[in-house]
Structure 1
């Protein structure tokens, strides 16, 4: 049996095709500002699918009006962050410039990149200084939910 998209079956509840960002994820001002340069695609956490860890996906289309976009912060859980360029002829080309800090070390990114951040390590600020082609972004935390109160303000 093949189901059309996610319209049936015992495991359809594990398929997510609709953006479900928690209502308290960021101030109204942050959400409005975010929408000027990015478009969230999907959000997964234990509120969306029982037992899931948190993952966020988005496309970045422009330089944000705020610099830095995310402040330095620390949390107890691990995080994997990535940015992927959208040039099919050169997928390593980020299509922009992102400055990202881990443990106080600032790194300038111009290539498709993933960063592993162990829990307890300070990371950010994040500065998106150039976007010449859409950049796909994701973040994954090894926690059922993400506490964005210190970031999305």
Structure 2
């Protein structure tokens, strides 16, 4: 790897659970029993030039409904991505998730994504059932994850990297 570009690679995805103020402990929610470690694919903390924040989480099987993320909004655009893991049928998510956009509930059973314009209220997000693990990623068009809820819980290090 060229030394010129070495700082652009993330070769060890860190646990970035502290970034997400609308889920888990930061939001006062119990951690769902079927979510893996939230990993950082790209963010300003690791690559200072990055103008995006992107995470990756494995979602595992569950027979019972699991609430994951509270309702919130951002002052930047966001794209949520869910990808099934059956190579014979990559469009089949192997799960049913629910996701609200401005109070309208959507049921998702196929691999895909959703574009959320800045200022759009979205979530809750959760899982009705998951019969096969799948990948979930969130791409924020901002170097740091931030939202209107629980903003006072954002760690100081993240607030400093946003400036």
Contact preservation (8 Å) 1:41, 1:58: yes
Once the two structures are overlaid, the 10-residue window that deviates more, 87-96 or 45-54, is 45-54
Distance in 2 separating the partners of 1:67 and 1:133: 15
The reply on whether 1:45 has 2:40 as its aligned counterpart is: no
Change (3 A) 1:22 1:90: closer
What is the root-mean-square deviation of aligned Cα atoms in Å?
Answer: 2.9
- Determine the structure 1 residue equivalent to 2:160: none
Shift of the alpha carbon at 1:65?
A: 7.9
Distance in 2 separating the partners of 1:121 and 1:149: 11
Shift of the alpha carbon at 1:150?
A: 3.4
Q: TM-score, normalised by structure 1?
A: 0.81
What is the number of residues matched between the two proteins?
A: 146
Contact preservation (8 Å) 1:103, 1:122: yes
Q: Could you list the runs of 5+ residues in structure 1 that have no partner in the other structure?
A: none
Tell me, what secondary structure is at the counterpart of 1:13?
A: helix
Contact preservation (8 Å) 1:39, 1:59: yes
